[in-house]
């Protein structure tokens, strides 16, 4: 029994179920939400410590041995992702106390949020490809419902696109699982990896690999399958946007990392080459889309797309240093992007709009908030000494060492354009005076001053994390190095799952 | 049997994609339904079709006797059907609500959040 592998899934599931029981009491749901998220964070730290000591932590569900039963397995990458899930869960739970309106709470905001977290954690920890599909669906159905909380026109339009594209992606994923099962007769990822190396390498393997790439590419919002993301992410409640921005696309990226290092590592000349150019185009389209927009959350949404490109670049180069950079980048990006969305929520609360042309004067009225914005914004653009600098540095260094000159050049230019977008938000929302003819709106939202303080608290904590990674990146770097070496040598993973290290 | 199944699966995928490319959101949801059915049949076909006894293990034995059907694809399909059913129920409610709010079922007029 290794309870720490199962707990990050069970805790949010239980929290979600309990808050469903407390459907009528908003206060009970809030208390459960905070307790559940804090418990999730503690479990994820426990898991990280275990993984750090032992390398791989494996638990066979129901005591069925590996290729037959469902396996939960955590390596360093999973543990890092689960830890970030726990951190974001707690941050969003605190923020929601100040930002969730009573009507959102009445329609199941907290239960849905925790079911979503259970789906995310399940996707990170499962060692079974069909089980991964099931966790994806758990996550998706909760995200559908969260996205349309409030039921405004824009949300409906965004949700139609979001639901359609994600269901198409699920169907492709399911078809690919079917074909893969027909080929190797197994669903356990470690077992598939072993059997796929024993079978003759035929064209069908590449077809299946590309189907997985398309399915996860849609979820990760990679070029050319990204367009559902900027059409929908800015429509939901702001805490939901922040949670989606931080975690959901990264589940797709994680799945790509897992599948294309463990299972489809036979012909990197073909698969990883496609990923490489996909990564370059993802970076360019994302950053150009952001440059054209003047709406706070839309700019940030497009920047999710462009940053996904850097993570995919780390995977596509497929060297130890590049994978290290990819993992480091995911860590940095989840913290920073969630934080930027949370700040946009405070700006909306203060001025009643996300439109940059109607915003202004925040530096004069709220210098503290401006400083808090600058930390993640400059980190996103990659300025030293913040976390983004080291993440970009490692990825670009790996690109240069691998001799991928064009793609590395693209990554550098995109970094510059990211800075342009962040400066645009800074200049429009914070620096310039309030535009003439715009009536300053009274502060909105629930909870008054206390509510606002609760919204500030996670922002300060996350900005602290960004600074910490920037000034003291060594522990994160070492963890990412372990994760990368485990990904490059999947033998350890396979042995841990199949080698009878059971309950 | 496999060639016929392959043809059916191909036709289902084609029909699903055709329906999803139409402008009406109702047809979009019908397309999604067909797509999930196509995927289920694909699992069924590609896992190998054979006439076999139910995979029951006699008492005291370690493995079933004779040729038995592979129960796993059926379990996968059952799970996938349940999931698809739930998701489609949500999609139907969503398009109903979307129609009530936007007053159109034409996807071409749902572009406000795109640009």
> The tokens of A120 are what?
């995310």
- In whole angstroms, give the CA distance from residue A224 to residue A236: 23
Which stretches in chain A have pLDDT values below 50?
A: 501-503
| Residue A322 within a domain | yes
B58: left (phi over 0), alpha (psi -120 to 50) or beta: beta
Position A438 scores a pLDDT of: 74
Q: What is the CA radius of gyration of chain B?
A: 20
| pLDDT of res. A152 | 85
In this prediction, residue A173 carries a pLDDT of 96
- Mean per-residue pLDDT for B20-41? 93
The verdict on pTM exceeding 0.80 is yes
Cis peptide before A263 (omega within 30 of 0): no
Helix axes B71-102 and A153-184, enclosed angle (nearest 10) = 170
Q: Can you tell me the distance from the alpha carbon of A81 to that of A258, in angstroms, rounded to the nearest whole number?
A: 12
For residue A140, the chain B residues in CB contact (below 8 A) are: 87
Report how far apart, in Å, the C-alpha atoms of A230 and of each of A93, A221, A287, A300, B112 are: 24, 9, 12, 9, 12
Give percent of chain B with pLDDT exceeding 90. 54
**Per-residue pLDDT at B13 exceeds 60:** yes
> What is the ipTM score, two decimals?
0.93
Q: In angstroms, what separates the C-alpha of A181 from chain B's closest C-alpha?
A: 6
Res A503: pLDDT: 37
Nearest CA in chain A to B30: A164
Give pLDDT, residue A502.
40
Of A137, A181, A235, which has the smallest distance from its Cβ to B83's Cβ?
A137
With CA atoms as reference, the chain B residue closest to A136 would be B83
Work out how many domains chain A is built from and give that number: 1
Say if B112 is an interface residue toward chain A (CB within 8 Å): yes
End-to-end CA, chain B: 49
Q: Do B38 and A156 touch (CB under 8 A)?
A: no
- Cα–Cα distance measured from residue B57 to residue B65, given in angstroms and rounded to the nearest whole number: 7
Contact call for residues A203 and B68 (beta carbons, < 8 A) = no
User: Running DSSP on this structure, what letter comes out for residue A263?
Assistant: T
Question: In this predicted model, what pLDDT tens digit does every residue of A226-265 receive, in sequence order?
Answer: 889 988 898 888 999 999 999 999 999 999 999 999 998 8
Residues of B in contact with A158 (CB under 8 A): 113
**pLDDT above 70: residue B115:** no
Q: Do B83 and A130 touch (CB under 8 A)?
A: no
- The pLDDT score that the predictor gives to residue A278 is 93
Residue A233: closest C-alpha in chain B: B113
Q: Which helix (H) or strand (E) holds A220?
A: helix A203-220
Task: Report, as an integer, the average pLDDT of B34-55.
Answer: 87
Query: What percent of chain B has pLDDT above 70?
Result: 98
Q: Which two tokens stand for residue A393?
A: 């540095």
Q: Distance between CA atoms of B11 and B18, rounded to whole angstroms?
A: 10
Residue A234: φ, ψ to 5° = -85, 5
Tell me the residue range of the domain where A444 lies: 3-498
Report the Cα–Cα distance between both ends of chain A, in Å, rounded: 4
Q: Where are the domains of chain B?
A: 2-49+71-108
Convert the pLDDT of each residue in A424-434 to its tens digit. Answer: 999 988 988 88
Class level of CATH domain B2-49+71-108: mainly alpha
Partner A contacted by B48 (CB < 8 A): yes
* Integer Cα distance of A147 and A23 in angstroms: 19
pLDDT value for A94: 94
The reply to whether residue A171 touches residue B35, judged by beta carbons under 8 angstroms, is: yes
- Beta strands A71-74 and A57-60, pairing class: antiparallel
| Cβ neighbour number for residue B87 with a 10 Å cutoff | 20
CA distance B23 to B56: 49
Q: Which two tokens stand for residue A29?
A: 């749901």
Considering only CA atoms, which of A111, A110, A130, A132 is closest in space to residue A122?
A: A132
> Is there a domain that residue A503 lies in?
no
Dihedral sign from CA coordinates of A178, A183, A186, A190? negative
pLDDT for residue A444: 67
């Amino acid at each position: 029994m290794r309870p720490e592998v199962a707990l990050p899934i069970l805790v949010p599931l239980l929290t979600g179920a309990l808050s469903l029981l407390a459907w009528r009491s908003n206060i009970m749901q809030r208390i459960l939400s905070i307790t559940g998220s804090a418990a999730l964070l503690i479990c994820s730290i426990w898991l990280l410590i275990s993984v750090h000591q032992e390398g791989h932590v494996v638990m066979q569900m129901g005591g069925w041995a590996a290729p037959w039963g469902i396996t939960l397995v955590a390596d360093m990458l999973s543990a890092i992702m689960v830890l970030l899930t726990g951190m974001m869960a707690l941050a969003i739970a605190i923020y929601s106390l100040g930002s969730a309106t009573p009507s959102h709470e009445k329609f199941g905001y907290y239960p849905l949020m925790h079911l979503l977290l259970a789906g995310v954690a399940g996707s990170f920890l499962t060692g079974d490809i069909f089980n991964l599909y099931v966790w994806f669906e758990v996550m998706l159905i909760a995200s559908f419902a969260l996205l349309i909380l409030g039921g405004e026109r824009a949300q409906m339009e965004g949700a139609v696109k979001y639901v359609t594209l994600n269901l198409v992606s699920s169907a492709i994923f399911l078809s690919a699982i079917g074909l893969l099962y027909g080929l190797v007769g197994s669903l356990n990822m470690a077992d598939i990896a072993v059997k796929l190396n024993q079978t003759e390498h035929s064209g069908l393997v590449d077809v299946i690999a590309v189907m997985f790439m398309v399915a996860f590419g849609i979820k990760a919002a990679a070029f050319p399958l990204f367009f559902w993301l900027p059409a929908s992410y800015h429509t939901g409640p702001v805490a939901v946007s922040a949670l989606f921005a931080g975690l959901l696309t990264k589940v797709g990226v994680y799945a790509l990392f897992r599948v294309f290092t463990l299972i489809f590592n036979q012909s990197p000349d073909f698969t990883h080459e496609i990923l490489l150019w996909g990564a370059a185009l993802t970076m360019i389209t994302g950053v150009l889309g952001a440059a054209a927009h003047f709406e706070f959350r839309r700019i940030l949404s497009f920047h999710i797309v462009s940053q996904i490109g850097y993570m995919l670049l780390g995977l596509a180069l497929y060297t130890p240093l590049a994978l290290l950079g990819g993992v480091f980048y995911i860590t940095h990006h989840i913290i920073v992007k969630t934080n930027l969305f949370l700040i946009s929520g405070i700006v909306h609360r203060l001025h009643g709009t996300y439109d940059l042309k109607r915003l202004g004067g925040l530096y004069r009225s709220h210098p503290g908030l401006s400083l808090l914005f600058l930390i993640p914004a400059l980190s996103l653009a990659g300025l030293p000494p913040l976390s983004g600098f080291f993440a970009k540095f490692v990825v670009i260094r790996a690109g240069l060492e691998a001799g991928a000159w064009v793609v590395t050049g693209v990554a550098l230019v995109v970094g510059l354009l990211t800075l342009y977008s962040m400066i645009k938000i800074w200049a429009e929302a914070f620096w310039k005076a309030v535009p003439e003819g715009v009536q300053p709106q009274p502060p909105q939202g629930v909870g008054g001053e206390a509510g606002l303080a609760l919204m500030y608290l996670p922002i300060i904590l996350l900005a602290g994390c960004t600074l910490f990674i920037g000034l003291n990146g060594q522990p994160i770097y070492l963890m990412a190095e372990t994760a990368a070496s485990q990904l490059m040598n999947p033998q350890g993973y396979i042995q841990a799952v199949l080698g009878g290290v059971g309950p | 049997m496999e060639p016929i199944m392959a043809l059916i699966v191909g036709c289902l995928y084609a029909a699903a994609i055709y329906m999803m490319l139409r402008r009406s959101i109702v047809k979009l949801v019908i397309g999604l339904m067909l797509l999930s059915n196509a995927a289920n049949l694909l699992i069924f076909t590609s896992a190998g079709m054979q006439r076999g006894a139910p995979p029951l293990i006699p008492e005291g034995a370690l493995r079933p006797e004779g040729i038995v059907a592979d129960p796993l694809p059926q379990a996968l399909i059952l799970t996938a059907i349940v999931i698809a059913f739930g998701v489609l129920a949500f999609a139907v409610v969503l398009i109903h609500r979307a129609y009530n709010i936007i007053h159109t079922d034409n996807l071409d007029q749902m572009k406000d959040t795109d640009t």
